[in-house]
Structure 1
Amino acid sequence: MLVESYSFGRIVVGGREYRSDVVVGDEIIVENWWRKEGHRVCVEDLDWLDKVDAEAVIFGTGAYGRVKVDEEVVRLLEEKGVEVIIEESSKAVEKFNELKKKGKKVVLAIHLTC
């Protein structure tokens, strides 16, 4: 399943529109992805991690890159052998689609606004 479109505050995946932050993977779609702190991703925000089999996790940090991903998150994923990619949301979507087309197991955790 690819991301069909992304614009500020809106993403379309599998023909369905989402207007709040979302996590997208082969096994899951987490709607209304809520984080402990809005513009920060910490380990506690990865409650979906055990439900996915991912080679890479891509964090979309918002249209202006305001979301910060804790080093602890990066370390945890890398220890599990998962590649971590952190990009502004439009670039994160491009990378997600590119890797999916190559047959990679990828998860996109994306902040849709700032």
Structure 2
Amino acid sequence: MIEAYSFGKMRIQGKDYTQDLKIIKGGVVPRWWRKSGHSVETDDVRDILEAAPDILILGKGRPGVMQSTPELRALLQQKGIELVEAGTDKALEEFNRRFSSGENVAAGFHLTC
């Protein structure tokens, strides 16, 4: 599904995105803006939580500045949602692998730092 990534740019199904984004149920939600910049809080992924994925993958950027908050990690654990956090390069590989195998996966990708 994700075809390419370079610093500040991601190509998904032939379309280029230059701002952070989320993928929920196979659809792209562009222009993802978090309340606290490089911290991912529960409110930042409310739409993902409502979609009830089994897995949430967070692409932390390059080199990986973005982080989930302890509160979000606790909520995901409580809901039984697996969290995978990695640099965006690795996170997109993991997303593509799991999405193509039919797993119920959602993602948020930071495209820069």
State the Cα deviation string for residues 48-76 of structure 1 (Å, max 9, x = none): 12442311000010011111110111111
Structure 2: gaps (5+ residues):
none
Structure 1: gaps (5+ residues):
none
Question: What code does the residue aligned with 1:25 have?
Answer: I
Q: 2:2 touches 2:11 (CA, 8 Å); kept in 1?
A: yes
Q: 1:65 touches 1:89 (CA, 8 Å); kept in 2?
A: yes
> Post-superposition, which runs of at least 4 consecutive aligned residues in structure 1 deviate over 3 A?
none
User: How far does residue 8 in structure 1 lie from its aligned partner after superposition?
Assistant: 0.5
Question: What code does the residue aligned with 1:36 have?
Answer: K
- CA RMSD of superposed structures (Å): 1.3
Q: Name the residue aligned to 1:105.
A: 104
Number of residue-to-residue matches in the alignment:
113
- Aligned-pair identity in percent equals 34
Q: What's the TM-score, normalizing by structure 2?
A: 0.92
Q: 1:3 touches 1:97 (CA, 8 Å); kept in 2?
A: yes
User: How far does residue 47 in structure 1 lie from its aligned partner after superposition?
Assistant: 2.6
State the Cα deviation string for residues 21-63 of structure 1 (Å, max 9, x = none): 0001225421110001111111121131244231100001001
Structure-to-structure mapping, 1:30-109, within 5 angstroms: 30-109=29-108
Q: Whole-Å Cα distance in 1 between the matches of residues 26 and 59 of structure 2?
A: 19
Q: Whole-Å Cα distance in 2 between the matches of residues 98 and 58 of structure 1?
A: 12
